[in-house]
Amino acid sequence: MRVVIQRVSAASVTIEQQVKSEISNGLLIFLGIEEADSQDDVEWLCRKIANMRVFPDEEGVMNKSLLEVDGEALVVSQFTLHASTKKGNRPSYIQAARPDTAIPLYELFVFKLQEQIEKEVQTGEFGADMKVSLVNDGPVTILMDTKNKH
């Protein structure tokens, strides 16, 4: 499971010219799921994200978590995070999970993150053509992969 996490002051998802979800201060999380991912990956990642200290404290040092700042979260599925660019010029997405595997894990991820931060998590729409807007605050952008936990 791979994520690109961006600390944002604002983010939104628009589908067919309609805003589906939007947040202010918080984290925009692009989530890529592969066939080998499991519930353990979901739980580990959600704990890490909720407690990751990427928000400024009173001295401006990144020392506070999403929980501590009462921040919001927006999760957007993004299979392209598993693109392989080793051969040719057209990325291969063979490692990305098929919908029958990916959708339940995506939904579990949203549910577990909601449990961790104790508030509703906003989402995109799995498989939809989405327009994502964001104001990256910092900028702070973090990449995580559950296959590289150590």
Active-site residue (options: 80, 85, 101, 123): 80
Q: Is 80 an annotated catalytic residue?
A: yes
DSSP state letters, the chain: -EEEEEEEEEEEEEETTEEEEEESSEEEEEEE-BTT--HHHHHHHHHHHHH---EE-TTS-EEE-TTTTT-EEEEEE-GGGG-B-SSSSS-B-TTBPPHHHHHHHHHHHHHHHHHHHTSPPEE--TTS--EEEEEEEEEEEEEEEGGG--
Catalytic residues: 80
